[in-house]
Amino acid sequence: MGGTLIGFGLWVLFGCFMIGLGINAFFSKKAVGFWANIKTFPVHDIRAYNRAVGKLFLAYGAIFILLGVPLLGGQNTPFILVSALGVMIETIAMMAIYSIYITGKYREK
């Protein structure tokens, strides 16, 4: 049982890190980056853009933590697949939302 609590604790820590990134995005004065090592595109409304990215990170972190709950059942539970597939689907959805919706709405024209 101790190993499952440590694993879940690490899972929650990463989710809290993502929530922290979202909170940081809310208060940032410069346009926050989404992709690693790529300069942010020219943004016409930085405050609204940062709020949208912040909400995306907050939602990702919260859902990530919820998807980790099956880890408390141990390694051999069949629900562990829910966590693995859920995180993959959530990550792809996050990238799609950013690329299609947020980029399209806030890119300077």
Q: Report pLDDT for 1.
A: 59
State the alpha helices, DSSP H only, in 28-79. 46-67
User: What's the mean pLDDT when you consider all of the chain?
Assistant: 91
Q: Report pLDDT for 98.
A: 95
pLDDT digits (tens, 9 = 90+) for 31-80: 998 988 788 889 999 999 999 999 999 999 999 999 999 888 777 777 88
Reference 62, options 50, 72, 71, 54; nearest CA is 54
Q: Report pLDDT for 37.
A: 78
> 28-42: b or e for each residue (b if 16 or more CB lie within 10 Å)?
beebbebeeeeebee
Largest distance between two CA atoms of the chain: 55
The angle subtended at Cα 81 by Cα 17 and Cα 89, nearest 5°, is 55
Judge whether residue 28 has pLDDT over 80: yes
